[in-house]
């Protein structure tokens, strides 16, 4: 059995800008037209969000504002079912829980960072310890199945309910990384 997701425009809904979509051939018996969004810029992501498509651009500026100065090519986080339906110049980051992308906070940022930079996830959680909800972080990590990555960087310090799966980096190494990566305001 295979689950397939599609973007369907409902009657009365305003369409996305013409330059942002590609129509896919209509399957026999399908009453509505399917669209394949093209995402080339942050503005295109904003258009998708305005049309209730759960898409989120993970940028280095967002991570830097959260306390860890870093540089990387942006990632486009979309629900798993839509990851094959969107053509983008950004790297696609499929997310199991699409609702998490609708109103993202620090727990979502930490969870997304666990996918491609677990040490950055730890530093963001550490520098925002008072703002990170441990229950929300636990829920996001569990929903995405990232317990092994969370254990590797000892996120149990911020959300004790996260189960320990696999081995963790030595605490001395993590402390060294924390000391040698000052917060953006400290580095200036």
Binned at pLDDT 50, 70 and 90, residue 1 comes out as very low
Q: Is the pLDDT of residue 48 over 70?
A: yes
pLDDT (mean) for 140-152: 95
Q: Does any domain span residue 83?
A: yes
Q: Does any domain span residue 2?
A: no
Q: Does any domain span residue 159?
A: yes
Query: On the CB side of 166, how many CA atoms lie within 13 Å of its CA?
Result: 13
Range of the domain at 144: 18-24+34-182
- Paired with 66 in beta bridges are none
∠ CA 91-49-78 to the nearest 5 degrees?
Answer: 35
Binned at pLDDT 50, 70 and 90, residue 187 comes out as very low
Burial class (CB in 10 A: 0-12, 13-18, 19+), 61: exposed
pTM for the structure as a whole: 0.78
Q: What is the DSSP string of the chain?
A: -------BPPTTPPPPPGGGEEEPPPPTT--S-BEEEEE-SHHHHHHHHHTT---EEE-HHHHHHTT-------EEEEEHHHHTT-EESSEEEEES-GGGGTS--HHHHHHHHHHH-HHHHHHHHHHTTTTS-HHHHHHHHHHHT-HHHHHHTTGGGT-TTSPP-S----HHHHHHHHHTS--HHHH-
Q: Does any domain span residue 6?
A: no
pLDDT at position 139 is 94
Q: How many domains does the chain have?
A: 1
pLDDT at position 84 is 86
Across the chain, what does the average pLDDT equal? 86
Q: Does any domain span residue 76?
A: yes
Biggest CA-to-CA distance, the chain: 62
Q: Does any domain span residue 8?
A: no
Q: Does any domain span residue 41?
A: yes
d(CA 109, CA 131) in angstroms, rounded, equals 12
What does the pLDDT look like over 51-68, one tens digit per residue?
Answer: 888 999 999 999 999 988
Q: Does any domain span residue 29?
A: no
pLDDT at position 171 is 94
The total of other beta-carbon atoms located within 10 Å of residue 172's CB is 8
Q: Is the pLDDT of residue 17 over 50?
A: yes
**Lowest-confidence pick of 21-30, 150-159, 161-170:** 21-30
Q: Is the pLDDT of residue 44 over 80?
A: yes
Give the residue with greater pLDDT, 87 vs 188. 87
> What are the residues whose beta carbons fall under 8 Å from the beta carbon of 85, sequence distance 6 or more?
5, 6, 7, 36, 37
Binned at pLDDT 50, 70 and 90, residue 82 comes out as confident
């Amino acid at each position: 059995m295979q689950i397939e997701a599609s973007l369907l425009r409902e009657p009365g809904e305003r369409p996305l800008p013409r330059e942002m979509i590609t129509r896919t051939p209509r399957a026999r018996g399908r009453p509505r037209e399917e669209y394949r969004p093209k995402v080339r810029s942050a503005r295109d992501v904003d258009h998708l969000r305005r049309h209730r498509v759960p898409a989120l651009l993970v940028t280095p500026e967002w991570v830097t504002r959260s306390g860890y100065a870093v540089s990387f090519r942006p990632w486009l986080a979309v629900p798993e079912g839509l990851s094959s339906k969107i053509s983008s110049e950004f790297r696609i980051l499929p997310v199991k829980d699409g609702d998490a992308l609708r109103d993202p906070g620090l727990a979502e940022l930490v969870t997304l960072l666990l996918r491609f930079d677990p040490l950055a996830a730890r530093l963001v959680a550490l520098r925002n310890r008072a703002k990170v909800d441990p229950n929300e972080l636990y829920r996001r990590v569990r929903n995405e199945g990232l317990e092994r990555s969370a254990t590797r960087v000892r996120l149990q310090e911020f959300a004790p309910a996260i189960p320990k799966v696999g081995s963790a980096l030595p605490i001395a190494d993590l402390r060294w990384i924390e000391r040698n990566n000052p917060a953006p305001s400290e580095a200036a």
